[in-house]
Amino acid sequence: MIKHCFAIAALALVCGCATQPEPCTAEWVDWKTDRFYDAFAREHRKDIDDLRAVTVNLSSSSSKPDIATTAMAGAKALGLAGDFLSDTVPEIKSALSQCGTAPKATQLFASLLRREGFDEKAVKAIENVGAALDHES
């Protein structure tokens, strides 16, 4: 019986290792970043949902969006982006540094928003702001 337990444990360990892609391949980078995205999304679910709701209202409005809605979307985006920059981007960059890959924070945040189902207009707006900030620094 004990031999069977060890065999099952060893098999589980081997199977667990087999699911990880080869390091530094495109599949591995996606797999690795997805793990960080999932953790960030879990920890910030309410903020992500709130921001998505505000950006949907901005995109679907037939008239010009009001200043209050635009300001609220901007504030929510900045808060969420700030948390992402301070918490998740350093972890991703550290994990990917072994491959010589250094994606820009704006690209990483845009990918997270796409995964979370944000409207492409909202994602592009975030990318444009981030690109402008990248050029400023």
Total domains in the fold of the chain: 1
Residues in the chain, overall count: 137
pLDDT in tens, 45-67: 999 998 888 887 666 655 566 77
Closest to 82 (Cα-Cα) out of 47, 38, 117, 123: 47
Residues 24-44: tens digit of each pLDDT: 888 999 999 999 999 999 999
Q: Look at residue 8 and tell me if it is in a domain.
A: no
Residue 36 domain boundaries: 22-136
Q: Considering the domain boundaries, does residue 2 fall inside one?
A: no
Does 115 reside within a domain?
yes
85 domain-assigned: yes
Q: Which residue has better confidence, 105 or 135?
A: 105
pLDDT confidence of residue 51: 87
At 102, the amino acid letter reads A
| Alpha helices for the chain (secondary structure H) | 2-18, 26-43, 45-60, 67-83, 89-96, 105-115, 120-136
Share of the chain above pLDDT 90, in %: 30
Residue 57 located in a structural domain: yes
- For residue 80, being part of any structural domain is answered with yes
Average pLDDT of the segment spanning 108-133: 85
Q: Side chain identity at 127, as an amino acid letter?
A: E
Say if 110 falls within a structural domain: yes
Residues contacting residue 89 through CB under 8 Å, at least 6 positions apart: 105, 108, 109
Residue 104 gets which letter from DSSP? Answer: -
Query: Does a structural domain hold residue 4?
Result: no
Phi first, then psi: what are they for 45, rounded to 5°? -55, -50
Which range, of 7-21, 35-49, 97-111, 116-130, averages the lowest pLDDT?
Answer: 7-21
